[in-house]
Amino acid sequence: MTLIKPTPAEDLQEKINFDCETGNYHTFCPISCVAWLYQKIEDSFFLVIGTKTCGYFLQNALGVMIFAEPRYAMAELEEGDISAQLSDFEELKRLCLQIKRDRNPSVIFWIGTCTTEIIKMDLEGIAPKLEAEINLPIVVARANGLDYAFTQGEDTVLAALAQRSNQKQVEKITDINDNYTEHAPLILFGSIPDPVVNQLTLELKKQGIKVSGWLPSKRYTELPFIEEGNYVCGVNPYLSRTATTLMRRRKCKLIGAPFPIGPDGTRAWVEKICAVFGIEPKGLKEREEEIWKKLEFYVSLINGKSVFFMGDNLLEISLARFLIRSGMIVFEIGIPYMDKRYQGAELKLLQQTCKDKKIPIPIIIEKPDNYNQVDRIREMKPDLVITGMAHANPLEARGINTKWSVEFTFAQIHGFTNAIEVLELVTRPLRRNQKLEKIGSQLYTDLR
């Protein structure tokens, strides 16, 4: 006799189809993380160790600062370095002493590139010796394009930084009016602008949850104290290495939540943190509904429109989920790298969103082949393609609306109030074309 148990409701949901095509990354270079990290960590200096190509990329991609000298530079490898005729230790010591003398940072980050990886430059071995000699912290992060996709550059930096967060900081005096619930320390990780940090911290404060610190902090000297048993939660989908480091090396407990992108994702993020601490969330449903009302104009523009993600910045799953909730049809989600464990909660929310909207779950393709994708785009004819910068102009020349994925990386898109920024970016090419059509129609009428 066999006992047949009823199938859980979760198992009745459509499963997500994953595929992997080329095994290659077709993304922006990960050393570009320097652009937002040097601005976030105000007392830092970033030294990118690479060739002239890396220098050209940084100069062109990040722009030239006219009125202020940026806190990053290139340690340009020459023939003598690559052929081991020069001493790596002495050369890096010379540069770091110059940086210390000229800029006096609290920390120097060494960013490894493809070249340092190929010639097996022992940055991790050199750094501790040099750090002791010049009395200045040196953090090594390998952000090479051979092993990492675009935004994973930040992931390698934060993972290295997580191992340094071991200095006990002086606890700030809590205002007597702050009614926090008693709970274990919570540290949030992910580099986002300070206004967004304040917004997300405030959303949790409304639920009685105190954020003990952020990784990275505004200053290296203000890194949060991380110890065994602390809870940690990420705000970006591409920080799986940082999450692993915090769990394995620092023995922290990871809160696996969807990411706070869009009103639906932000609500789910706050709710999951509340659930871990045994707190009944208050007012989140009303807060989400209030934001959706403010988005009605943008939602009306994209409702029923189709979008295709080629894959570039690893925000694709979260953005696709939010756009599906907003009424768009997602044909395909290309993504350079997929960590199913770290993004597990986000994938479940994607499933639930598709179930609620009564539509099939779009296929997720890891490391997609761009040639195959172009063929599928021609066949599917999406209203919008979200893509890396390399493919935008060729697609536009073929009459296909595009949006650079890098814009979502640099925009403030996290939290309830910033959901409008996502839809502003998505609808911009559609609104532009509508205006052009009206102008063209008016010119045609005038000429007649």
The verdict on residue 388 lying in a domain is: yes
Does residue 281 contact residue 271 with C-beta atoms inside 8 Å?
Answer: yes
- Both structure tokens of 218: 């505004």
Q: Over the chain, what HEC string results?
A: CCCCCCCCHHHHCCCCCEEECCCCCCCCCHHHHHHHHHHHCCCEEEEEEECHHHHHHHHHHHCCCCCCCCCEEEEECCHHHHCCCCCHHHHHHHHHHHHHHHHCCCEEEEEECHHHHHCCCCHHHHHHHHHHHHCCCEEEEECCCCCCCCCHHHHHHHHHHHCCCCCCCCCCCCCCCCCCCCCCCEEEECCCCHHHHHHHHHHHHHCCCCCCEEECCCCHHHCCCCCCCCEEEECCCCCHHHHHHHHHCCCCEECCCCCCEHHHHHHHHHHHHHHHCCCCCCCHHHHHHHHHHHCHHHHHHHCCCEEEECCCCCCHHHHHHHHHHCCCEEEEEEECCCCCCCCHHHHHHHHHHHHHHCCCCCEEEECCCHHHHHHHHHHHCCCEEEECHHHHHHHHHCCCCEEECHHHHHCCCECCCCHHHHHHHHHHHHHHHHHHHHHHHHHHHHHC
- Beginning with the edge strand found earlier in the chain, give each strand of the sheet holding 186-189 in spatial order: 213-215, 186-189, 231-234, 253-254
Q: Are 345 and 253 contained in the same domain?
A: no
Q: Are 300 and 424 contained in the same domain?
A: yes
Distance of alpha carbon 192 from alpha carbon 58, whole angstroms = 20
The verdict on residue 422 lying in a domain is: yes
Of the candidates 101, 111, 86, 91, the residue with the CA atom closest to the CA atom of residue 32: 111
Q: Are 120 and 234 contained in the same domain?
A: no
The verdict on residue 305 lying in a domain is: yes
Q: Are 281 and 324 contained in the same domain?
A: no
Q: Are 350 and 369 contained in the same domain?
A: yes
Residue that finishes a domain, picked among 100, 124, 148 = 148
The verdict on residue 402 lying in a domain is: yes
Q: Are 302 and 428 contained in the same domain?
A: yes
Q: Cis before residue 216, ω within 30 degrees of 0?
A: yes
The verdict on residue 105 lying in a domain is: yes
Residue that finishes a domain, picked among 251, 286, 321 = 286
The verdict on residue 4 lying in a domain is: no
CATH code, 260: 3.40.50.1980
Q: Are 282 and 249 contained in the same domain?
A: yes
- Type of residue at 70: P
Distance of alpha carbon 348 from alpha carbon 255, whole angstroms = 15
- How many structural domains is the chain composed of? 3
Q: Are 370 and 307 contained in the same domain?
A: yes
Q: Are 202 and 222 contained in the same domain?
A: yes
The verdict on residue 163 lying in a domain is: no
Of the candidates 314, 445, 279, 439, the residue with the CA atom closest to the CA atom of residue 386: 314
pLDDT value at position 166? 60
| Residue that the structure tokens 């940072």 belong to | 105
pTM: 0.87
Q: Are 83 and 103 contained in the same domain?
A: yes
- pLDDT one-digit tens code per residue, 384-396: 999 988 888 888 8
Per-position b or e across 348-371, b if 16+ CB within 10 A of its CB = bbbbbbbeeeeeebbebbbbbbbe
pLDDT value at position 4? 37
The verdict on residue 16 lying in a domain is: no
Domain range holding 144? 30-148
Q: Are 311 and 433 contained in the same domain?
A: yes
Residue that finishes a domain, picked among 93, 118, 148 = 148
Q: Are 322 and 258 contained in the same domain?
A: no
Sites in the chain below the pLDDT cut of 70? 1-14, 23-25, 61-69, 78-86, 165-178, 433-448
How long a stretch of residues is the chain?
448
